[in-house]
Structure 1
C-alpha cells in the first residue's frame, strides 16, 4: 500500500465493505425465494462483508437471465408446426387412459414447464453403458444431416475418444455437428477432449465458462448437467449417462458403474432439441434453424402411446420445475412410489410429501447405492435417513458397483427419468432435463427392474442407524447440515 494511504486503510476497508456488502445483502434478500438461503447468505455477508460478498458473487447468484426458445413451436413453421400440434395430449386422452388424478398432473406440467405432453412417441431403455454407448455411436455413424450433443462430462479416455472419432468422422462427411460440454465437466479429463474435437473440425463450446481461463462469473456455481444427443432431428438419447469409460464393462468388467439412458423418437424429440438448442444459443450465440436442423415429423398416429413430456429445469425461468413436478406426483400417488437415485438428499418439502404419502398407505421404496462415488454426499444422506424410516418409508442399499441411474415410477403408470438427482444441486442449481412418461407398459417395466434391484439389496433400518458409533452419527449429521453446499 502506498505510504500516503497507510493512515487511511481502515477507512478504505470500511468503504469497500459497504460497497461490496450492502449490494450483495440486498440482492440476496430480494432474489432468494427460500428464507433459509436468504438468511444464510445475508448472515455471511454481514459477518464478513468483503469475503462474504465475494463468496456470494461466485457461488450465491443462482439465476441466469437469458432469452429463451420457449418451446419447439419457435423452431417449427407452417404445416410442420400444425402437424406437431396434433400430437399434444388432451385432458380427455389422459383422463380416459390414466384417470383424473393424472389429468391433474398434466395440468400441473402444462403450468410449470415449457413443453407440452405429447403422444405418439416411442421410448426404449438402454440399461448399461455399453448399450447406451453402442446405440449412440451407431446413430452418430449413420447421421446424414445434423448432430447436436450436450453433456456434463465428456472424458478423453477410451470411450470418449471413440465418440470424438465418430463426431469428427461425421463432420468430415459434411454433417453439421455441435458439441456443448459443461465447463466443470470438461475439467474431469486432462487434457480436455475439446482440443481433439476442434482439431478434427468439430464445432464445440463450453457451457458457462472457459476451460483455460476459468469459470464464468458470477454464475460459476451453475452447470449444465443435461445429457442430450439429437441425430438428424429424428432420434434423441437422454438420461443419466455421461461419456466416460468407467461405465463400460468392456474396460472395467464387473466393476464398471451402472447407469440408465433412453432412446426416444416422436414429437418429444422437437422439445429435447429446443432445450439443447437454447443452451447452444446461450453459449455460442448461434441459432440452429437452418434446414439441416429441421425436426422430422412423427409418423405414429396422434393420441397413441407413449405420452412423454420433456421437463427442463434450471436456474433461469425454469427454476425448480423438477421439484414442482415431483411434489405433484407424490401428492397423487395411491399405491406405490419407487425411487432410484445415487444422491438422495431431498429438501424438507419433498421429504414431507414422501412421508405424507407413506402415512396414507402408499408403499414408498427408495433405492440408493451401497457403494457411492461421493463419500461426503453418501454420509450426508445417511444422516437424513431416519426422518423417512420413522415414517413408514423403506430405504434399500443396492449391492454391487455404483449405480448412477435416476429412475422413478408411481402407481404402475407414471414415470420420471432423466438427469436430475434428488439433491439440492440438481433441484436448484443445475440445468437438468428429465422426461415425464405416462405409459402403463413403460412404468411397469421400470417397476420390475427396480423390484429386481430390491431383491438383492440390503434394507436400511433404524436399528442399523442407531447401532453406529455416536461419533460416526455426529459426522453424518454435520455433513447433512452442509448438504445444500455439497
Structure 2
C-alpha cells in the first residue's frame, strides 16, 4: 500500500505546472461565477472570491462547506403542502382591540414579512431558569393526551435530559403522538445520546441537518437553534432554554446558565405548531396534519402575538427585518438583552440613529459569556454605539442566556435568536412578537435590575494594544461567531 501511495504522489508530481495552473484557474473562475450570482453581500462576495483565487483547492473546499446555501431548494421542496389549513386564517380566531396608532405601521410590516396575521386572545407567562421551566414542561408532557412536539438545539443525556427522555417515552407508550427534533451538531454530532435513546425506545426523532456522508456535509454551519415544546396543539413553551443540567441554577451546577422561557396559550400556538411541522417535514418528510396537531383554539388571554421564523431558506433575515422595523418605529425607548451581541452594521446604524434622535437605548450583555471569543469581538464592535449614546450594560455572573427586546414599554420580542449574524442569517430561529404592556413592564423591570455596571468608551480605550489587536482580529470572524 505504501508503494502504491508513493506511485500516486509521483504521478501527481509529474503533472505539468501549466495543467495544474489551468485547472486551478478554471475551478476558481467557476466558483467566482457562482459567488457573483449568489452572494448579495459585497464584503462576503469579495472575501470568498479572494480566497478561491489565492488558494483554489482550499478556498473551494471551504466555500463548498460553508459558503453554498443548498437549503433553499430542499426547504421549499419539503415545505408544508398547500392542503394544510392555514392556522393564521381560521374563521374562529378572535379579533383583538385595535393597536395604538404608533404600532400600526409595525404590524403592517411584520404581516408582510411573515405572511402571518396577528393573533389575539393569548396568554404568555414568564418562567425563569430551568428550575421553573423544566417542571412545567415535564408536567405538560405528563398530562398530554394527543400530541407532543419538542425541538431543542442542545438536549443532553444528563439528569434532566433523562427525565425528559422518560417523560417522552411514557407519553409515546400511552398512545400520544410524539415527535422530537434535535440539532445534528448542538445535541451531539458523533455521540448523540438522546437521539439514540429515543430511537431505541421507539419514539419518532429526527436529527436536523446531520449526515456523515462527505457529499452531504455542506450544512455544518446551518443549525436549528429553536427551543420549542407544544402539547396537544394548545400549550407551548419557547424561549432560550436548552435541555441541560446547567440551566438548573438552584442545584449549583459547575457552570450555571440563567435564562428566560415562556409558557404560551391561545390561538398563536397554531403558528408555533406550524413552525415545528415545517421543520419536521424538512427533516423527516412527514406531514403533521389534522386536529391531533391543529385543534380549534379559543381565546384565553389579552395578548396579541405572532410567530416570526428565520433561517437560510425562504425565511432568510425575517427576524432581523422585524427587529429593524421595530427600531425604526420606536418613539421613546428600546431596551434589549442578549447573551451574544455582534449585530450587523445595519443594526448598529439603526440603534445609533435611534439614540441620536433622543430615544433611551439600553443594551444588556454578560460581563463574561460562555464564549470568550465572542466577548473579545464585542468589545471591538460597539464603539459606534457608545459614541451615539447607546448605553451598554454588563450583567454580573453567572452567565445569563436570555434574549429579550422591549420597545416603547408595550411591544415585546422573545424567543431563540441572539443579536449576531449567526442567529439573524445562518441559524433556523423562532421568535414571538407580543403587544402586551403588562408583559413589557415585567420584562422591562427584569432588565432594569441588571443595569448597574455600564461599559464606557474609557473602558475600551484602557485596553492594552495587544488586547485591542486581538479583539479587532477576532471581530473579522463576525459572520460566523
Task: Give the structure-2-normalised TM-score.
Answer: 0.92
CA distance in 2, matches of 1:363, 1:309: 26
CA distance in 2, matches of 1:413, 1:283: 37
**Residue of structure 2 equivalent to 1:279:** 279
CA distance in 1, matches of 2:205, 2:476: 39
1:42 deviates by: 1.2
Which of 467, 474, 481 pairs up with 1:472?
467
CA distance in 1, matches of 2:220, 2:115: 25
1:9 deviates by: 5.2
**Residue of structure 1 equivalent to 2:365:** 368
Contact 2:78 2:281 in 1 (8 A): no
Seen in structure 2, the aligned counterparts of structure 1 residues 213 and 345 have a Cα distance that, compared at 3 Å, is same
**Residue of structure 2 equivalent to 1:34:** 41
CA distance in 1, matches of 2:135, 2:278: 27
Residues 386-415 of structure 1, C-alpha deviation per residue, up to 9 Å, x if partnerless? 221111110110113000000010111111
CA distance in 2, matches of 1:64, 1:237: 27
**Residue of structure 2 equivalent to 1:328:** 325
Contact 1:121 1:300 in 2 (8 A): yes
Q: Does residue 219 of structure 1 match 2:219?
A: yes
Which residues of 2 match residues 219-258 of structure 1 at below 5 A? 219-252=219-252, 256-258=256-258
Seen in structure 2, the aligned counterparts of structure 1 residues 478 and 133 have a Cα distance that, compared at 3 Å, is same
Structure 1: tracts of 5 or more residues without a match: none
1:11 deviates by: 4.9
CA distance in 2, matches of 1:256, 1:26: 47
Q: Does residue 350 of structure 1 match 2:347?
A: yes
1:465 deviates by: 1.4
Q: CA RMSD in A?
A: 2.4
CA distance in 2, matches of 1:77, 1:308: 16
Q: Does residue 52 of structure 1 match 2:59?
A: yes
Aligned partner of residue 187 in structure 2, secondary structure = helix
Contact 1:154 1:244 in 2 (8 A): yes
1:383 deviates by: 1.2
Moved more, 468-477 or 256-265: 468-477
Seen in structure 2, the aligned counterparts of structure 1 residues 88 and 477 have a Cα distance that, compared at 3 Å, is farther
Contact 1:223 1:431 in 2 (8 A): yes
Residues 28-63 of structure 1, C-alpha deviation per residue, up to 9 Å, x if partnerless? 111112111111111111111121111001001235
1:88 deviates by: 6.2
1:256 deviates by: 2.2
**Residue of structure 1 equivalent to 2:446:** 449
1:70 deviates by: 7.2
CA distance in 1, matches of 2:254, 2:104: 43
**Residue of structure 2 equivalent to 1:83:** 91
Seen in structure 2, the aligned counterparts of structure 1 residues 88 and 312 have a Cα distance that, compared at 3 Å, is farther
Aligned partner of residue 431 in structure 2, secondary structure = strand
CA distance in 2, matches of 1:431, 1:399: 29
Aligned partner of residue 437 in structure 1, secondary structure = strand
Seen in structure 2, the aligned counterparts of structure 1 residues 190 and 2 have a Cα distance that, compared at 3 Å, is closer
Contact 1:16 1:50 in 2 (8 A): no
Q: Does residue 67 of structure 1 match 2:69?
A: no
**Residue of structure 2 equivalent to 1:426:** 423
Which of 435, 454, 477 pairs up with 1:459?
454
Seen in structure 2, the aligned counterparts of structure 1 residues 337 and 63 have a Cα distance that, compared at 3 Å, is farther
Moved more, 468-477 or 398-407: 468-477
CA distance in 2, matches of 1:174, 1:16: 59
Task: Give the structure-1-normalised TM-score.
Answer: 0.91
Contact 2:184 2:207 in 1 (8 A): yes
Aligned partner of residue 175 in structure 2, secondary structure = coil
**Residue of structure 2 equivalent to 1:266:** 266
Contact 1:28 1:41 in 2 (8 A): yes
Aligned partner of residue 279 in structure 1, secondary structure = helix
Residues 330-382 of structure 1, C-alpha deviation per residue, up to 9 Å, x if partnerless? 11111111010000000111011001000111001100011210000011001
CA distance in 2, matches of 1:77, 1:342: 34
CA distance in 2, matches of 1:245, 1:254: 10
Aligned partner of residue 287 in structure 1, secondary structure = coil
**Residue of structure 1 equivalent to 2:174:** 173
Aligned partner of residue 121 in structure 2, secondary structure = coil
Q: Does residue 482 of structure 1 match 2:477?
A: yes
CA distance in 1, matches of 2:148, 2:295: 13
CA distance in 1, matches of 2:335, 2:453: 16
CA distance in 1, matches of 2:332, 2:105: 17
**Residue of structure 2 equivalent to 1:439:** 436
CA distance in 2, matches of 1:264, 1:346: 28
1:25 deviates by: 1.6
> Number of matched residues?
472
**Dislocated runs of 4+, deviation >4 Å:** 2-6, 68-74, 188-191, 212-215
Contact 1:155 1:188 in 2 (8 A): no
